[in-house]
Chain A
Amino acid sequence: MVTQGGDFHLIRRILAGDAVAERQLYDAHVDRVFRLAFRLTGDGAMAEDLTQDIFIRAFDRLQTFRGEGPLGAWLHRIATSVIYSALSKRRRVLEIEVPREDLEQMAAAGAGQNPDLRRRIDRAVADLDQPHRVVFVMHDLEGFTHQEIAAAMQTPVGTAKARLSRARRKLRGLLCESRPCLNAETSLGSE
């Protein structure tokens, strides 16, 4: 992880035209950005397009980075903004009716890939409204901290935590009608 002092040094080199530094910045952050875009869109091509757009915007605006926080937080703010805008253009993030060929691929993908379970999970997450879905995916699926999420979404940490709590409550309600949740022992038995 690049330290804040390292961030400044890297940015100075980039703004001086150092192509190696540009690639370094990209390599340091692209995994998290791409994973987030993929988690939220479920679409590989779209996730790639969004990731590319995010980094192009970041490089375009690099000179405005003030260093009040880590460069990663600044970058993730751009990422959430770009992904938000893209998601708002789509009526649904996830296919609710999983196409038959996808079900067959899931079944063929390996032991324990339960298409019904996956569909239930996908439906439940899609049922969350956008801010709650983003917070849940960022924290519980991708490991962002509350502080990182708050910085990315430009909300207080308390708001981010509250959204996460509500998202979890709703998901628990949708997926844990019986105990254990998702009938875990039987669903996960062969994974």
Chain B
Amino acid sequence: MDDDREFRELAETMARLHNPPPPTPRDRMWGRIAAARDARSSAVRPRLRARHALGIPGWRLAAAAVAVLAVGIGLGRMNGPRMETRMEPRMGPRTGSLPLSTTPGRPADGDRFRLAAIDLFGRAEIVLTDFRVGSCAARELQTVPAWAGGMLLQTRVLLDAPQALDPEVRALLEDLELVLAQIAGLSRSNCAQDMAWIRAGLRDRATLDRLRAAADDGIPLQSL
């Protein structure tokens, strides 16, 4: 008990001295958040246009777009306005909670999502494993933005799908989105540092292990 009290006192001291936060700059941050959201909502769709900034050849972009549309159509959903609400109250016994997004009733949509996600995870595991041991040689860097950009689009379509409800699947998709965005934005001038960060992120989040597990074991239907 003395040890507990001693640690409580220690923790109080640490709370006072270890990075004590200043007052929250609420208004300043809100201004920036609101501005960023306004800018996004008025940005021209589709997202594909932004990929040109990464120097992806047009034909690769078109191929990626076809793959993305195929996944989107297969899931029964096209990219639409972000602010569209899919909230419907659930019919049934009254409970304290209401799910805000309902899954379409057709099991086939869940199957399609599952298959698309497993396929993506399997391919991502393979290319990221290769990428992790890759180099900053110009020849290798030339192809990186194309495959990373295409896979990033597919990841985002799956994230936006109404079937993407399972927390573990969402977390893996979000981590995959992050690493693919980092890879797609790889700069030649700072390649070594960028690669080090990407590898550290893959290691810290155990992303490759999780991708392998999801691709090998599949995604349980009951989790959708």
- A residues contacting B by CB (< 8 A) are 4-5, 8, 11-12, 15-17, 23, 26-27, 30-31, 34-35, 38-42, 44, 47-48, 51-52, 55-56, 59-60, 63-68, 81, 84-85, 88-89, 94, 113-114, 117-118, 121-122, 125, 130, 137, 140-141, 154, 168, 171-172, 175-176, 179-182, 184, 187-188, 191
Residues A26 and B30 in contact, CB atoms below 8 Å apart: yes
Can you list 9 residue pairs at the A/B interface with Cβ under 8 Å?
Answer: A30-B24, A48-B32, A67-B98, A81-B171, A85-B201, A89-B200, A140-B11, A176-B6, A180-B9
Residues A141 and B201 in contact, CB atoms below 8 Å apart: no
Partner of A12, one of B37, B87, B174, B200: B87
Closest B residue to A130 using CB positions: B204
The secondary-structure label for the interface of chain A is: helix
Residues A35 and B99 in contact, CB atoms below 8 Å apart: no
Residues A184 and B13 in contact, CB atoms below 8 Å apart: yes
| Count of chain B residues with a beta carbon within 8 Å of a chain A beta carbon | 51
C-alpha gap A8/B86 in the complex (Å): 13
Note all chain A residues with C-beta closer than 8 A to B18. 39, 118, 121-122, 125, 137, 141
- B residues contacting A by CB (< 8 A) are 3, 6-7, 9-11, 13-19, 21-22, 24-26, 28-30, 32-33, 36-37, 82-87, 96-101, 164-165, 167-168, 170-171, 174-175, 178, 197, 200-201, 204-205
The secondary-structure label for the interface of chain B is: helix
Note all chain B residues with C-beta closer than 8 A to A140. 11, 14-15
Closest B residue to A90 using CB positions: B197
C-alpha gap A140/B30 in the complex (Å): 28
Note all chain A residues with C-beta closer than 8 A to B174. 81
